[in-house]
Amino acid sequence: MKKIVASCIVFLCCLLLASPQGALAGYKAEYRLSVVPGPSSGWAQTAEFFASLVKERSKGRINIKVYPSAQLMAGKQTSEFLLLRNGSIDFSLASTINWSPQIKELNLTALPFFLAVEPDRYKAMDAIMAGKSGKMIIESVEAKGVKFIGWAENGFRELTTSKGPIMSPNDLKGLKIRVVGSPIFIETFRELGANPVNMNWSEATTGFQQGLVDGQENPTNGINIPLKIWDFHKFHCDWHYLIDPLLLCANSKVWDGFSPEDQKLLTACALEAEKFGKALSRLGMDNGESLRLLQQLDKVPAVRDPYACMQEHGMKVSRLSADNIRVFYNATAPVREKWAKTIGEELVKAAQEDMAAVR
Ligand code: X2X
């Protein structure tokens, strides 16, 4: 008996010595962070940046692994929120677009041309995130049962097509455009006279290859360039019609399992990931601020000038003037009016005020 007790004690001591600190605190050996697009996207790189910062600062106690390409949701991007909430996923760096079917407030930044007509669209986005409307969005996400940790950015979504340049709604007539499975996208493209086709991102590249659609819309730096969109579409329309912010969130139980110090650590790392992610998304399209930040971090990507890059690859880039954008804005007024009611007039008004304050 004594021998058995002694060996148990030895065994337990070995176990304690071998465990990383995290395991002692009841932490998981690995937390799974989900991302919809592939590993080369700006979005997945932002997630990797966050995970490695957390690992370094927690001295290995918190080990987050990034799972790109919608693999944790078998490609069904609009079910991600439910999987995070029920604990199948621990963390997610998620697009508002993919969660908007469950959280109607997240359609705010998908109101067509709502930010595009602002004098500085990036300032407008930052003002929403930092303002009253941003707080209202965070409250609406947390009210649905997940913990918000921080913001990031997929980027302003620009249109790429295979059949000719797009300068006005007329040019879009009858074109088949791949969109995400969120109703406001279908309605916006129908209003513009196009023929929207709902397709998961996991199937979209094959769809482009096979010519199932004539175009698609996604952010330039984060998605279109890493995907080499010029292999499928030769026309780029810079219309900034809406923006796709990202929400870094955790399953509530997972979050509650962290010590208050580690919760602070995670929030601080998220703030840095937000700056990094925004710089990746805005590089070459802002006043030079993004380049400076990426230089400081020693993380300047190979493509610094997205417009030159697209042109070098044979794309014809149409950069719409404020007047061109105004035509699209007017043409999509019914969609904004209808969706403002669904989103909540109070939230839309708060966003208008936040944006007006930085004009
Ligand atoms: O599906 C898309 O277009 C993507 C990758 O941008 C999102 O997940 C919203």
- pLDDT tens, 294-314? 999 999 999 999 999 999 999
**Burial call 328-346: b when 16+ CB within 10 Å, e when fewer:** bbebbeebbeebbeebbee
The pLDDT value recorded for residue 14 is 44
Question: Would 67 be classed as within a structural domain?
Answer: yes
Q: Specify the ligand 1 atom closest to the Cα of 97.
A: 9
Whole-number Å distance between alpha carbons of 110 and 335: 10
| Distance from Cα 154 to the centre of ligand 1, integer Å | 9
Question: Would 10 be classed as within a structural domain?
Answer: no
Question: Would 6 be classed as within a structural domain?
Answer: no
| Distance from Cα 347 to the centre of ligand 1, integer Å | 24
Q: Specify the ligand 1 atom closest to the Cα of 178.
A: 3
Q: Is the Cβ atom of 94 under 6 angstroms away from ligand 1?
A: no
Q: Is the Cβ atom of 78 under 6 angstroms away from ligand 1?
A: no
The pLDDT value recorded for residue 78 is 94
Question: Atom 8 of ligand 1 has which residue's CA nearest to it?
Answer: 36
| Distance from Cα 135 to the centre of ligand 1, integer Å | 24
Whole-number Å distance between alpha carbons of 284 and 265: 31
Whole-number Å distance between alpha carbons of 93 and 294: 20
Number of separate domains in the chain: 1
Question: Would 15 be classed as within a structural domain?
Answer: no
Question: Would 7 be classed as within a structural domain?
Answer: no
Containing structural domain, residue 340: 25-356
Q: Is the Cβ atom of 41 under 6 angstroms away from ligand 1?
A: no
Q: Which CATH number covers residue 41?
A: 3.40.190.170
Q: Is the Cβ atom of 201 under 6 angstroms away from ligand 1?
A: yes
| Distance from Cα 158 to the centre of ligand 1, integer Å | 12
Question: Would 20 be classed as within a structural domain?
Answer: no
Question: Would 82 be classed as within a structural domain?
Answer: yes
Q: Is the Cβ atom of 34 under 6 angstroms away from ligand 1?
A: no
Question: Atom 4 of ligand 1 has which residue's CA nearest to it?
Answer: 201
Q: Specify the ligand 1 atom closest to the Cα of 98.
A: 9
The pTM of the full predicted model, rounded to 2 decimals, is 0.93
Question: Would 128 be classed as within a structural domain?
Answer: yes
Provide the residue-wise pLDDT of the chain in tens; the chain has 359 residues. Answer: 566 555 545 454 444 444 444 454 689 999 999 999 999 999 999 999 999 999 999 999 999 999 999 999 999 999 999 999 999 999 999 999 999 999 999 999 999 999 999 999 999 999 999 999 999 999 999 999 999 999 999 999 999 999 999 999 999 999 999 999 999 999 999 999 999 999 999 999 999 999 999 999 999 999 999 999 999 999 999 999 999 999 999 999 999 999 999 999 999 999 999 999 999 999 999 999 999 999 999 999 999 999 999 999 999 999 999 999 999 999 999 999 999 999 999 999 999 999 999 99
DSSP E strand boundaries for the chain: 31-34, 64-67, 91-95, 146-161, 176-179, 195-198, 215-219, 235-251, 316-319
Q: Is the Cβ atom of 37 under 6 angstroms away from ligand 1?
A: yes
Q: Is the Cβ atom of 70 under 6 angstroms away from ligand 1?
A: no
Q: Specify the ligand 1 atom closest to the Cα of 77.
A: 8
Q: Is the Cβ atom of 251 under 6 angstroms away from ligand 1?
A: no
Whole-number Å distance between alpha carbons of 153 and 81: 17
Whole-number Å distance between alpha carbons of 114 and 348: 10
- Helices 42-57/260-282 angle, 10° precision: 150
Q: Is the Cβ atom of 43 under 6 angstroms away from ligand 1?
A: no
Q: Is the Cβ atom of 22 under 6 angstroms away from ligand 1?
A: no
54 phi/psi in degrees, rounded to 5 = -65, -45
| Distance from Cα 242 to the centre of ligand 1, integer Å | 13
